[in-house]
Structure formats: structure tokens, C-alpha cells
Amino acid sequence: MMNLPNIQQLENFIIYGKVRNFTAAAKEANITQSAFSFQMKKLEERIGVQLIVRSNKGSNLTEEGELFLKRVEVIFQNLEECICDIQALGGQTLSLSVGTLMSLGDVLMNRHLAYFQKHHPKMPISVYNLEARELLKQLEEDKLDIISTFCLPQMNINKYEQTFFCTEKMVYYAPNMHIENPTVSADYMARRPLAQYSSYYLMNTNIQKYFSSIDCHPVVQAWFSTPYAIMQYCQENLTGALLSERFLVAMGVYEGYYEVEPKFDMSCYLLYKHNNPKYKMMKIFIDYIRRLYQG
């Protein structure tokens, strides 16, 4: 029988294939660079083919290394899926980790999960409320299985599977202003005190882009990290804010907000990796969310 490489060598080779750098790969593998380099040498000796070309300028995969990487990735994906299937068959509980946008609130996702888990009690799901950049980072690092987010041009999402599920309609929430018209202009909002998201948030970038596209520059009175805090601040002060209508309705707020002109809508997607070994489980949840909003 062929003397095969061990699992650790193959896993670390896949890590190298992602970053193409020994220092970065060793850090991700949580071992020293010398130990990582030794493992790659042992892997090449075991196979009898050079997989990585090394020089003073750096390193990269050889043609044989590229082919080997593609084949090994498929093998590992099949192995992980096989283990998940067998665990489920054996009654072991597998859980999903779902990330939602801090700036849109998690109240909606929590309600969806409560209903979903009544019908799928053997599929526990944990929800994490994070900022957009952190959501993408944790999805990339496989710490989250699925994330729910709006999409902006500066967000690199092309490498993920994308399922559109709703259009987020933004409205002007100003419960203490008693505006007579059902619609307010961006210019009107910009000339009044505005409660806004932290400048670190991509939601802030999106709102700023909305105003700048029509040459408006809002006066920001206060900065917050969550829509809950923004909503409460507006309830206690003569201040307005751009918030998701879906969020307000979920919080039981049906008045005190207005349509905006021009319209401010955002497309929301579920992002995930097709090669996640929990893919079959994920699709059950993803299809449920898509049907829910289409309905």
C-alpha cells in the first residue's frame, strides 16, 4: 500500500496554497515557520515531487503543486462532508453559526431562528451580531457559517456564494419633529441634527455616500454603534436618523418615520462558502430565509 502523507501535512499545504507565504501560513497553522517549512519538505519527499518553489524573492506553488492543491482540497471537502453526514446519522448534534449586521440589529434574525428551530429542533443555531468587516473576516476564517449583510462595492464578496433575500428600505426616523409631509428630502435631513452610526461602520459609509451623491452634507449630532441606541436617542431628542423600516417595525414602531427622497434602498444577501462541510444543513436554513422574504 502506498505510503501516504499525514493529515497535518496536507492541511498545512492547503493553508500555504491560500496565502502563498511561509510566514503567514505558519502563523495561521499556529506553528513556527521552521516547523511549517519542515512539514512541507517532508510532504514533498513523501510524494517525490517538488510542490513549492523557493527563492530569495519568496515562494510559490509549482505547476505540480497547483494541481495537487486542487485535488487535495476536493478530497478534504469530501472527507469533512462525510464526517458531518456520519455524525448526523449517528445522532450527534451539529450547529450552525450565523452572523448578522450590528448596524441593522439582530431582533429580526432572532425571531426567524425561534420559528425555524421549532421545525428543526435538531439544528441548533448561534447568532453573532457584528460589524460588516468583522463578519467578512470571521466568514473567511470559518468562524461563521453564514452571514447576513448588505453589500457595498468595497466589500470583497465575489469569492462567496451569495443568496439575495430582501431589499432593506431606509426611512427617516424623527418621532419628535412632527413633520407634516409623508416624505422628506435628503436636503431636509441634512439640515437637521442627525444621529449616525460610528465612522468605523460600513453602514456609515453607505449613508455618507447617499448624501454626497446629491451634494448634501449632514450635521451629525451623535454617533452610535447600534440601531437600538440610535432609535432611543431620537425618541429622547429633537434628532432624526436613517434607520431600516424593517428594523423599526420589528421593534413595534409604526409611526414617527417618513419616506425619503431620493429613495434609499440596500440589497441584503446571505453569504457563505460552498465548500463548507455543513453545506447541506446551511441550505436548509438559507432556503427557509429566502422563502420567508419572498412570501
Q: Is 209 exposed, middle or buried (0-12, 13-18, 19+ CB in 10 A)?
A: exposed
Q: Which three cell numbers stand for residue 103?
A: 448596524
Q: What stretch of H or E contains 193?
A: strand 193-197
In order of 72, 129, 268, 285, the CA distances from 125 in angstroms are: 30, 13, 20, 10
Q: pLDDT, tens digit, for every residue of 143-161? A: 999 998 887 666 777 889 9
Residues 5 and 189: their CA atoms lie apart, in Å, by: 64
Choose the weakest-confidence range: 54-68, 74-88, 144-158, 188-202. 74-88
Task: Please compute the mean of the pLDDT values over residues 238-264 and round it to a whole number.
Answer: 93
pLDDT at site 232: 95
Report field, pTM of the whole predicted structure over 0.75: no
DSSP letter string over 130-189? E-HHHHHHHHHTTS-SEEEEE--TTS--TTSEEEEEEEEEEEEE-TTT--SSSEEEHHHH
What are the backbone dihedrals phi and psi of residue 264, each rounded to the nearest 5 degrees, phi first?
Answer: -130, 95
Which residue, chain included where needed, has cell 431606509?
A: 170
Model confidence over 90-117: pLDDT tens digits? 555 567 888 888 777 666 676 667 667 6
**pLDDT band at residue 243 using 50, 70 and 90 as cut-offs:** very high
* Omega of the bond leading into 262 within 30 degrees of 0 (cis): yes
Confidence of residue 88 (pLDDT cuts 50, 70, 90): low
pLDDT band at 89 (very low <50, low <70, confident <90, very high): low
**Which cell goes with 159?**
469569492
Cβ neighbours of 238 (radius 10 Å): 12
Q: Please say whether the dihedral angle defined by the alpha carbons of residues 191, 196, 199 and 202, taken in this order, is positive or negative.
A: negative
Determine the average pLDDT of the residues in 222-243: 93
Determine how β-strand 146-150 pairs with β-strand 183-185.
unpaired
Give the model's confidence band at 78: pLDDT under 50 very low, under 70 low, under 90 confident, else very high: confident
Residue 140 CB neighbours (<10 A)? 14
Domains, in order of start, for the chain: 7-89 (1.10.10.10), 96-165+268-294 (3.40.190.10), 167-265 (3.40.190.290)
Calculate mean pLDDT across residues 68-81. 82
Residues 6+ apart with CB under 8 A from 121: none
* CA gyration radius, the chain: 24
The C-alpha cell at 128 is: 453573532
